[in-house]
Amino acid sequence: MRVQQPVEMILLRQVASYLTIPIWMMDDAGNLVYYNEPAERLLGIQFDDVGPVHADQLGEMFRLTKTDGKPMDPFDFPVLVALEKRVPNSGEVRYCGMDGIWRDVAVTALPVEGQGNRFLGVFATFWEIGD
Amino acid sequence: MRAKLWGTRGSIAVSGADTVRYGGDTSAVEVNCAGGRLLILDGGSGIRAMEVAPDTKRIDIFLSHLHMDHVQGLPFFPPLLDPDIEVHVWGPVSTTRSLRQRIARYLSPPLFPVRVRDLSNVTFHDVLPGAFEVGSIHIKAELVSHPGATLGYRLTEGSSTLAYIPDHEPMMGQMNLPASSEWVSGFPLAEGADVLIHDAQYDDDEYGSRIGWGHSSMSHLTEFTKVTQPGRVVTFHHDPGHTDAFLDAFHDRLNGRLNGSASLIPGVAGLEIEV
């Protein structure tokens, strides 16, 4: 895991900490480095309890399907599309949080590029969608 | 490594009897290294009076960013107009224009009569976050929290380390820094440095109306110093409205807040520091 975050990610985290919409942040290697308090409700666990999560462990923590319950290729998940292809992406998914509750959410993910066109990670918001 | 403060004022140069001691010139620090190599941190108005040895062949100027109080003195610094001296100007990379193009916005009519293209002895270097060498000096540059791309520098020569973060608001709207150093802007520059030159622009009660302006309150500086643990911390970028008397009282209180976590050196113009 990265020893020091670049200032662009530091500033984004600070912004996220003030927002009331759920925000999820990954670094350039796909490690989950932060989510804010509104996201904690949707993910079913406080960030301080889970801490930074290595990319390899994310699939075990949050099971994903399409919103109709059919299997989903993880690489169609908007956050991973933004990470792998470095383009904005959005879509709807169903996932099971750490509290065992399945939720349908709309996800919008943006690749984060900093000064000098450095790719730094992904900044994403999750929006719960009703029936 | 030996540093001399030629300009310690922030935002705009000031003059008058009540700012004589701390000085009125804006950011400029001379750093003399082994073998007579001269490095300069920022090109504020303080650079104008900087004395350069007659046999100087090369000067490296490291700009933290391009706000006017950090570049205004450049065209008044005689070596920039001396074809016998090789001058290298280093500054933060931009996604849109080169450093030379951005400096040219100032060094061109109608703002200034001399153009960048007239400075035939000057080479500009766009600096990405990372590390590089200039002679025997190891230089680490990192972007720090301040409006617009702004670099802090960490200079290491042998076992001596000088950190320079003149404009820095480590946390916006909050006085406490994140618990994990991973998320502290500027941490890798200042950590364990022998000398840290750092923004000390605002008192805490001033900061409330200046959130997001990119500068530290006394609490920010105190917390940042405690987290990064430099040997000595030098206050810098004094607010243009702060008189010598105000700054004396400011430093008395700051010294109490630091409580021995680092030796406090008030950033007084003309001060020389052996790193």
| Interval B208-247: pLDDT, tens | 999 999 999 999 999 999 999 999 999 999 999 999 999 9
Q: What is the pTM of this model?
A: 0.92
pLDDT band at A70 (very low <50, low <70, confident <90, very high): very high
CB-CB contact of B237 with B10 (8 Å): yes
pLDDT confidence band for B96 (50 / 70 / 90): confident
Q: Write out pLDDT tens, residues B40-95.
A: 999 999 999 999 999 999 999 999 999 999 999 999 999 999 999 999 999 999 88
pLDDT at A19 over 80: yes
Residues of B in contact with A2 (CB under 8 A): 182
Delineate the domains of chain A, giving CATH numbers in brackets: 7-128 (3.30.450.20)
Averaged pLDDT score across all residues of chain B: 96
- A vs B: CB pairs below 8 A: 43
* Three-point CA angle B142, B194, B1, nearest 5°: 90
DSSP letter for each residue of A38-85: HHHHHHTS-HHHH-SB-HHHHHHHSEEE-TTS-B--GGGSHHHHHHHH
The mean of the pLDDT values for chain A is 93
In terms of residue numbers, what domain contains B45? 2-274
Mutate to test the interface with A, among B145, B171, B182, B189 (most CBs of A within 10 A): B182
CA distance B152 to B191: 12
A3 to chain B: closest CA residue: B182
CB spacing of B93 vs A11 below 8 angstroms: no
CATH number of the domain encompassing residue B113: 3.60.15.10
* Distance in angstroms (rounded) separating the CA atoms of residues B211 and B205: 11
- Residue A28's closest CA among A131, A127, A126, A120? A120
- Average pLDDT on B120-132 reads 96
Find the residue in A nearest to B212 (Cα): A11
Average pLDDT for A6-28: 95
Q: How many domains does chain B have?
A: 1
